[in-house]
Amino acid sequence: MSLLVVGLSHRSAPVSVLERAALPADAQVKLLQDTVAAEPASEAAVLATCNRIELYADVDKFHAGVAELSTLLAQHSGVGLEELTPYLYVHYEDRAVHHLLSVACGLDSMVVGEGQILGQIKDALATAQELHTAGRLLNDLFQQALRVGKRAHSETGIDRAGQSLVTFGLEQLTEGAPVAEWAAGKRALVIGAGSMSSLAAATLARVGVAEIVVANRTRARAERLVEILSEAGTGLSARVAEMESVAVELTRVDVVVSCTGATGLVLSSEAVAAAVASGARPVDSEVPNLRAPDGSLVARLAAAAARSGRLPDAGYVADAPGVDSLELHGTWAGNGAVLDTPATGLDSASTCPAPAAVPTRSAPGGPAAHSGSSGRQTTPRAVVPTQYAPTKLALLDLAMPRDIDAAVHRIDGVRLVDIESLAEASADAPMAADVDQVRTIVADEVAAFGAAQRAAHITPTVVALRTMAADVVQSELARLRGRLPDLDERQQAEMTQTVRRVVDKLLHAPTVRVKQLAGEPGGAGYADALRTLFDLDPQTVASVSRADSNNNEDTDARNRGRA
């Protein structure tokens, strides 16, 4: 069996296709079930985020596996296979491992180094484990991806290669002005109360807005976020608004940040036009003096997001006054938080970082390569500001699918930054040195994973060999006791120990060496050689493999219980 991944992401597909192909939770469950029911696949896991949909499987046939996985993705995404195929990429065996580890390190993210992907990988593994679609290979792979992602964040400055997605979006709204000066004293509406929205609220509070209004479908979550904001004691005004009153709130605020899990539009162009026409206060008007960012508030918001969801790209926390480092669920946040706490009660869309970036100079015109790099990583480049009418309402849409009607950009006095404009702003910039360091880590870990898998592949055969040897020893000892009935118990025990010691010594060196050789490239053939040389029963080998897989599942279940 071999690892195969078929998927699409912001590297291969335009935003319009990603939006239509987005998989809700129930569709992901059905996709996993249908995949393992298909002939080529024995294991399956789905990684579905704001800017990627990837189906991982352990298959016994490459071409049949690609065809089956592509068809299943098309069926469950609702995008026809003929339309979807040009945007799909395929990675196989070591290239598939390399791809997932790169994704886990944030190398394939729109903002390089963002850490929220680790939580999404953990969620993908948990779902596959709960549905029993993840076996030994995918369990090992996804656990390795989580470890490598954490290592990249702790050993390198990959967090510095990118920046907070909310901060990046706000920088695009300011058209070159310092964010703190631009935001000071403004009134902001945050739509959504997931981890990304919590990050938005923390960022807005940090840069000095005077008021934050939180609207969310679940009022209790909005109230909790407002409670944290209000308890900080900084004079920041924070309150909850019902989703039904968002249109009214638009007339009272200067800035809107929206990141919900809604499948339809949250803000229509008509609602925005009406708010602007009613006289929303221009964001260019005089504002109070800038107040210093409050480190305590940022720390509390970060900790709250760690408890309730995942706080991505929180490197700014380390720079806040009074916050030297934060321990968030056991993960050091002094150089950018890397959280992997599952988001309770959140769907993938409500916990996503900024949605997809679309390459603007190398848009795909055909099928993506089946191997190789997913696309070179970039850091944000400067964007020449476009001339706009005086801005009355600034909108930042970080949702996938989009929350805000793209047509609002035609309304005078409205400034919209959405996933496509963020993609344009982040394209074609030079590489950071930290990215190269992470690439080296990924390459080393891919080699280590391959060696471990090859060694693990031969383990059932070695166990079967030792089992066969033990059976032979027992049979011969029984025959010997029948021929020498006068031996007392001490003599029989000495005879048994001697025979077993001889067999163990004969098997020790070759079995240790064959495990070492199996870990090297091309070492998979040693298992076949052992089975042939010793005429091992394939059913015995298979039963050992199944027992090992069941032990792994029991361990995973215990680990989930402790979590």
Three-state secondary structure readout of 410-454: HCCCEEEECHHHHHHHHCCCCCCHHHHHHHHHHHHHHHHHHHHHH
Could you give phi then psi for residue 6, rounded to 5 degrees?
-125, 130
Q: Which of 127, 129, 122 is nearest to 143 (CA)?
A: 122
Place of tokens 């040389």: 533
User: Rounded to an integer, what distance in angstroms lies between the CA atom of residue 366 and that of residue 346?
Assistant: 35
User: In 10 A of CB 279, how many CB atoms?
Assistant: 9
50 is in an annotated binding site: yes
128 is in an annotated binding site: no
Q: Which two tokens stand for residue 419?
A: 């996933």
197 is in an annotated binding site: yes
Q: Which of 50, 105, 259, 352 is an active site residue?
A: 50
Which helix (DSSP H) or strand (DSSP E) does residue 91 occupy? strand 89-92
Tell me whether strands 255-258 and 327-328 are parallel, antiparallel or unpaired.
Answer: unpaired
Could you give phi then psi for residue 289, rounded to 5 degrees?
-60, 145
Which helix (DSSP H) or strand (DSSP E) does residue 274 occupy? helix 269-277
User: Rounded to an integer, what distance in angstroms lies between the CA atom of residue 478 and that of residue 490?
Assistant: 16
Tell me whether strands 414-417 and 211-215 are parallel, antiparallel or unpaired.
Answer: unpaired
**Residue 50 annotated among the catalytic residues of the structure:** yes
196 is in an annotated binding site: yes
User: Rounded to an integer, what distance in angstroms lies between the CA atom of residue 32 and that of residue 286?
Assistant: 55
193 is in an annotated binding site: yes
Q: Which residues contact 80 (CB under 8 A, 6 or more apart)?
A: 74
195 is in an annotated binding site: yes
Residues in the chain: 563
Q: Which residues contact 357 (CB under 8 A, 6 or more apart)?
A: 10, 11, 51, 110, 419, 422, 423, 426, 427
Q: Which residues contact 459 (CB under 8 A, 6 or more apart)?
A: 515, 544, 548
Burial class (CB in 10 A: 0-12, 13-18, 19+), 245: exposed
Residue type, 167: T
Q: Which two tokens stand for residue 541?
A: 């080998």
User: Rounded to an integer, what distance in angstroms lies between the CA atom of residue 76 and that of residue 68?
Assistant: 12
Burial class (CB in 10 A: 0-12, 13-18, 19+), 502: exposed
495 is in an annotated binding site: no
109 is in an annotated binding site: yes
Q: Output the CA–CA distances (angstroms, integers) from residue 44 to 6, 65, 105, 108, in the order listed.
A: 11, 12, 21, 21
194 is in an annotated binding site: yes
DSSP 267: B
Q: Per the annotation, where are the binding residues for NADP(+)?
A: 192-197
The annotation places the binding site for substrate at 49-52, 109, 114-116, 120
Q: Which of the residues are catalytic? A: 50
